[in-house]
Amino acid sequence: MSTHNAEDRFKQMLKHMKIAVLMGGVSSEREVSLRSGMAILNSLKDAGYDAVPIDAGPDVAQSLLAINPGVALVALHGGWGENGSIQGLLEVLSIPYTGSGVLASAMAMDKFMSKVVFMQRGINVSPFVVLDADTHDVPVQSQKPVTVPRLMPWPKPWPMPWIVKPCAEGSSIGINVVRSDEQFGKAVAEAMSFGGKVLVEKFITGKEIQVGVLGGKVLGSVEIRPSGEFYDYKSKYTSGCTQYVLPPSADAASMERVEDMSLKAYAALGCKGVARVDVILSGEGDVYVLEVNTLPGMTGLSLVPMIAQRAGYSFLALIEEILLDAINGPSGTDCGQAGMTNSGRLSGERSAQDHAIINQTGINQAGICKVTTTV
């Protein structure tokens, strides 16, 4: 069967599937996720697809079981929507889903762990220091007075300015550029309020380039020029706050290095489906990978749809490609062929026996299956 015929076949399959669009959630990026999810939902419904919205709260497992989708399109951002948790739930429920699997999602969300992987694969990262709330380097209680000498990684590893950010937040939430000891203490306290480790990075001056990747291939790139000091939350989601340069203003040789390094980062984490790789091209021509976003935004100001449009994809065509990637080819899950159970049927098509077993175990309000075992 030709590639074109196979794609048509899978598109026909999609037309007969119920598509669960997971959005919202409980993270600090809930608002952005709702905007992404509604844009996707409206586009699918306008094209005649059987798409159903799910606001992914504590009862998400119940909601999924109630509609029995053939595939889940994950439009969640941050928290357990992006750190591998929802992906793990979908694995357990045998529902094929879009995007990267459990391990890749978890590593990409943890900026420290992804940097470790990148360094092991020879991928450039900006110099960094990690502060941990569980050590004596940082106060455990963020409400206590913050004393800069206690927080400052003495001796200073590099001249300021520095970037201070939470290790596991997205959408530039909790990120600050610091140029003094006083700013550093305040920035660490803010980053620590999100819990977990805090990343302190050397500020690299250069062109900030975002690379879109779909199915292991580069879609294209965009250079971003925010009106502020860096690409913060306001710059990302407020119209007029950022200038977008497509294609980026870098020369062809530099862009080849940028896109090659981006693909290496995507592969190093084991990503699948659509992703966005954030890169700095320094004034000296060095390429630094900042992070990989496994669930990039899909709003009107989001970069991946912008990149895809220049590559010839309408918004709907991009969504269809993302869905096709979930049900066709190598698995986006961490455990075998996407969309198929060991019996070979689509995993969304559960048998009456499956539901009888699930109903016997029961589902609590937290969306956790309660299983009683007798010996």
Q: What is the pLDDT of residues 7-35, one digit of tens each?
A: 677 778 888 899 999 999 988 889 989 99
Using alpha carbons only, how large is the chain's radius of gyration in Å?
22
pLDDT at 3: 60
Give the residue extent of every domain in the chain. Answer: 3-99+316-361, 107-123+205-294, 128-202
Cβ atoms of residues 78 and 28 within 8 Å: yes
Say what percent of the chain tops pLDDT 70.
74
State the pLDDT at residue 15.
Answer: 87
Cα separation, 38 vs 47, whole angstroms: 14
**What's the pLDDT at 173?**
72
Output the CATH code of domain 128-202: 3.30.1490.20
What is d(CA 119, CA 68) in angstroms, rounded to the nearest whole number? 41
Please name the residue that has the structure tokens 């091209």. 281
pLDDT of 359 reads 39
Instruction: Give the integer Cα–Cα distance in Å for 50 and 70.
Output: 10
Q: What is the pTM of this model?
A: 0.79
Return the pLDDT at 29. Answer: 85
- The reply to whether CATH 3.40.50.300 applies to domain 3-99+316-361 is no
Tell me which residues of the chain have a pLDDT lower than 50: 1, 136-150, 171, 330-375
Residue 81 per-residue DSSP state: G
E strands, the chain, where? 18-23, 50-55, 71-74, 128-131, 162-166, 176-178, 198-202, 206-214, 217-226, 242-245, 274-282, 287-293
Spell out the SS3 assignment of 128-178.
Answer: EEEECCCCCCCCCCCCCCCCHHHHCCCCCCCCCCEEEEECCCCCCCCCEEE
Nearest to 321 by CA among 306, 303, 308: 308
Residues carrying an active site annotation: 29, 171, 237, 276, 278, 291, 293, 297
Instruction: Determine contact, residues 266/275, Cβ cutoff 8 Å.
Output: yes
Q: Retrieve residue 246's tokens.
A: 């497509």
Query: pLDDT value at position 196?
Result: 74
Q: Where is 286: in which H helix or E strand?
A: none
Assigned CATH class of 107-123+205-294:
alpha beta
> In degrees to the nearest 10, what's the CA dihedral of 170, 260, 323, 347?
-90
Cα–Cα distance for residue pair 230/167, rounded to 1 Å: 18
Q: Report pLDDT for 324.
A: 93
Element (H, E) at 9: helix 3-15
